[in-house]
Amino acid sequence: MQLALFDLDHTLLSGDSDVLWCDFLFELGLIDATFRQRSVDMAHNYGAGTVIPKDYYNFYASTMTGRTPTALQPLRERFLSEWIRPRIPDDARALLQRHRDAGDTLVLTTATSRVISELTAADLRVDHYICTELEQVDGRFTGRTSGVLNIRSGKVDRLRQWLSELGLPERTLAEASFYSDSINDLALLSVVRRPVVVDPDARLESTARWKGWSVLHLNRGLGSAHERRKLPH
């Protein structure tokens, strides 16, 4: 099995799924302006390294508190249709197709929770999908994450666990390709054979140049005029 691994936010998707989810809920009147501003601040502080991952992902998990998967399904479908699909560039889909045509096994590995990113994974037609899981009690989301967060070294741990469950050797990961935009994925980029940084943040671009990793830039045009009109501000 030849793996092609892909990050989601700011890699295949032009944007951050969690922040977009909060903007989407705000437009529907399901969260207030104060919570939306906290989302903006949280994203900024996380990027600056002043918020730990557990607090960051629990904050976004809190938008599901008390809800059931069934109740969230119509929202998830609308979010995918109106907010996510228009932000997946043709270049990203073409990249996936090239690996598909080469016979690779496509794996989306994202820190974003299952509620927010599962339908995106299905829309991208990846073979496997690893994400941050959310805690449920009595069929309702508690507003907290569950298990190992799929971020930083957690991405490596979760992939190794997944390979073990499939009965595949650990060297499968060492022979893989991985595409990401973020310095948060440095651990995984460092263990694969072919690390590719995609429209990287400044810290990752500097690291990639130093290590001699490939740097890929996608055409992130917003598509048709119809799609552009649908994009919320």
Q: Which strands make up the sheet holding 177-180, listed edge to edge?
A: 140-146, 128-137, 105-113, 3-6, 177-180, 194-198, 214-216
Q: Is 7 a catalytic residue?
A: yes
Q: What CA–CA distances, in Å, run from 93 to 99, 184, 220?
A: 10, 23, 11
- Name the phi and psi angles at 83, rounded to 5: -115, -35
Q: Is 185 a catalytic residue?
A: no
| Amino acid at residue number 177 | S
Rg (CA), the chain: 17
Q: What CA–CA distances, in Å, run from 65 to 28, 47, 136?
A: 17, 25, 9
Q: Which of 7, 23, 104, 185 is catalytic?
A: 7
Q: Which of 9, 18, 104, 181 is catalytic?
A: 9
What residues act catalytically? 7, 9
